[in-house]
Amino acid sequence: MMQPTSEADHISQTLQVDFDRILCNVLDKYRTFPGFTLLLGGLLQFIINMKQKDTYPHGMVAYLCLVRRRGEGYILDDIGFRGIITIYGSTPGTPEFLTYLTQLLESPERAGTRVFDQQKYTTAAKECLKLYLCNHCHFSKGVMGSSHRDGALRRNKPSAWIARMGVHSRIRKGQHHCKVQLKASMYIHQDASFPDNSPQHEYCQFLSYQWALDLLPFFLEKSAISLELAEVLRRRTFTTMAQQFRRRKRLAEEAITKYLLRVESAAGNS
């Protein structure tokens, strides 16, 4: 005989339904925001690989900092990293809460159409490419692009590079970038505020681009077969900033090749 549900179980189930509703309302609020699917996919990737004392990836925090500058609000706060009351003894932002969020996003019964399935990963991959990795408007300028041009000059015309930059330029440039990163890193948090073209803004772009490169292979592995995504991948041109992350770029290109082979294989079997 089936045992009747205890009062404690009933309260627990009621709390879960109410809390799920709060989170689903947030998902509905931001579902049309460009890059929100990318953020959720990145959050899931972080949770899957999370250790007990890990902090959020610097690239994710830098991404949110750039989003705040565009005036889109405190996205992670709304999801529940701050401000939502504790549930089942876990505070927002803790591993328990993040596990709860993951279970919600991966459960069609609880999340409904908001479930983070293969189609959502496909959308996240397209946003990763269009908003970051191939966005020449925002990620081909500044010190990173200048560094790339200096490198080309040093390889092709070393005498001209020495005359312009000096023998010890690499040491001075390395010291400069260390100072910029040290100074900028103190401001990299979701509530940060700084002007465009400042070292802090440039460092945020640097970190968020690195994060996007790390995410793309994860997204492509979990994406559904999509001719639209395949077309985007075939036409992609990484920005000059990708030259700063040669290993990550190589891994991303290998993931792209693997995904395109999967698409061609599916087309051949149909």
Give the pLDDT confidence score for residue 124 in this predicted structure: 96
- Mean pLDDT check: name the lowest of 27-41, 62-76, 159-173: 159-173
Instruction: Output phi, psi for 252, to 5 deg.
Output: -65, -40
Q: pLDDT confidence of 179, banded at 50, 70, 90?
A: very low
The yes-or-no verdict on residue 143 having pLDDT over 50 is no
Section 29-40 average pLDDT:
87
pLDDT at residue 150, rounded to an integer: 55
Domain span at residue 239 reads 1-270
Q: How far apart are CA 47 and CA 172, in angstroms?
A: 39
Task: Tell me the pLDDT of the chain averaged across its residues.
Answer: 76
pLDDT score at 229 = 96
pLDDT band at 92 (very low <50, low <70, confident <90, very high): very low
Please give the structure tokens belonging to residue 234: 């075939």
Position of tokens 């089942």?
88
* Gap between the Cα atoms of 245 and 257, Å rounded: 18
Specify the range with the lowest mean pLDDT, choosing from 14-28, 65-79, 173-187, 205-219.
173-187
For the chain, how many structural domains are there in total? 1
Token couple for 257: 């090749």
- What is the percent of the chain with per-residue pLDDT over 70, rounded to a whole number? 64
pLDDT surpasses 70 at 85: no
DSSP-assigned states of every residue in 85-98 = PPBTTB-TTSHHHH
d(CA 206, CA 58): 10
Percent of the chain with pLDDT over 90: 34
Q: Rounded to whole angstroms, how far apart are CA atoms 109 and 174?
A: 53
Average of per-residue pLDDT across 81-90 = 41
Backbone angles phi, psi at 60, to 5 degrees: -65, -45
Residue 61 sits at the vertex; the CA angle it makes with 57 and 63, to the nearest 5 degrees, is 110
C-alpha to C-alpha distance for 87 and 21, rounded to whole angstroms: 14
Q: How confident is the model at residue 77 (pLDDT cuts 50, 70, 90)?
A: low
Task: Determine the 3-state secondary structure of 157 from DSSP.
Answer: coil
81 forms bridges with which residues in the sheet?
none
| Burial per residue of 70-90, b for 16 or more beta-carbon CB atoms within 10 angstroms, e otherwise | eeeeebbbbbbbeebeebeee
